[in-house]
Amino acid sequence: MTAPLHPDTVAVHSGRSDLEALGVHALPIDLSTTNPLPDIERGGDSYEAMATGGRPPADGSMVYARLWNPTVGRFEDALAELEHAEAAVAFASGMAAMTAVILAHGPAAGKNHVVAVRPLYGGTDHLLGSGLLGVETTYCHPAEVAASIRPDTGLVVVETPANPTLEIADIAAVVAQAGVVPVIVDNTFATPVLQNPLDHGAAMSLHSATKYLGGHGDVIAGVVACDEQTAEALRRVRAVTGGLLHPLGAYLLHRGLATLPVRMRAQQESARRIVQWLIDRPEIAEVFYPGLDDDPQGIIQRQMRGTGAMIAMRMQGGYAAASAVTSSTSLFTHAVSLGGVDSLIQHPAALTHRPVPAEARPDADVLRLSIGLENVDDLIADLAQAFAALSRVEGTVASGRPWA
């Protein structure tokens, strides 16, 4: 029996099985919006197959790009292999992906209740609490999932490591509490390089592919890895709502997967160095990073292969210090998003988590760092000079939470 390929090899070769037959080496991009039909009957059968969640029939047509695109399909196959899943379904954004999941497991499944484990990405938290999708949401901590399940619960949503303060949830424990209710794990921070939620019982693994999967800050996308039955339900929603990922975006993401393991390891190593430096800084009241508590329950060791490249830190000087630091860095770009080759600094409470209710919003003194591929000593020097600037701006920045 052939030994399984190493994930580094899978990242390079997955989703490319048809390239030799096509006579090409680099990934092709199919930008067609419509496709020739062999005849009325086979064209109609093809349309029905894809509109109801299936794949293009071998003797049929792809019909129309809202239903299927081969460039998108290759990326989906590649991501599914990396996530140890039967299938994956790609969308125009991470929020489009989450919306499709909620619709497919809520109203479309005759359910109107979702259990959401906090903390969550602010956009997901806001979407679930908005009522826009016709579901009621119960928010809870990981240990409260079982008590939150109702007969009409169609989905449990959890993010680990969580955005922005990187709490770790035990996926297997959440799945056990959920029982027959499917669990979706937002795996954006960990990526398939460090964590495979389906291996621990989750029904779905979701990524804001905008982040680490693409890795270069030039494409917005979302993708869900799952079994084929779930994929069919998600494709139905995608076909009706028009949430298909553009083929150029799929090409960029598929190309990005090839370097994902190398990027993630290098960024993680820099993050570890920066965490150790931050711990001893007088300007920092607390550092949030997986494993700093030595993982007493063994969750990280059990379900992850690394701790990632995201860091959160609580400033000693409160909101005024946080605001000053974001204005003083030069290598760290003050911007939302994460997971790219360049480092970013962001204030979650005022930006990505601004729509979240006050009781679940991150504190005003917390900043989030996304560590890129710059030289780690240069990144540390940039933070050091930003911290040094705090004494020069003390008292010039308004305190409090002006967005509340």
Exposed / middle / buried, residue 3 (Cβ in 10 Å: 0-12, 13-18, 19+): exposed
Residues catalogued as catalytic: 66, 121, 186, 211
**pLDDT tens per residue, range 168-217:** 999 999 999 999 999 999 999 999 999 999 999 999 999 999 999 999 99
Report residue 173 CA to chain centroid gap. Answer: 21
| pLDDT tens profile 136-167 | 999 999 999 999 999 999 999 999 999 999 99
State the Cα–Cα distance between residues 210 and 252, nearest whole angstrom.
10
Confidence check: pLDDT of 360 > 70: no
Q: Among the residues of 209-363, which ranges form H helices?
A: 228-241, 247-257, 260-279, 299-303, 318-326
pLDDT tens sequence across 26-77: 999 999 999 999 999 999 999 999 999 999 999 999 999 999 999 999 999 9
Question: What are the residues whose beta carbons fall under 8 Å from the beta carbon of 60, sequence distance 6 or more?
Answer: 38, 42, 43, 45, 46, 49
Q: What is the mean pLDDT of residues 357-382?
A: 91
**180 close to 127: Cβ distance less than 8 angstroms:** no
Nearest-5° Cα angle at 342, 341 to 344: 130
Backbone phi, psi, residue 114, to 5°: -125, 140
**Angle at 124 (CA atoms; ends 354, 286), nearest 5 degrees:** 55
| Confidence check: pLDDT of 128 > 80 | yes
CATH numbers and ranges of domains, the chain:
7-32+69-257 (3.40.640.10), 262-393 (3.90.1150.10)
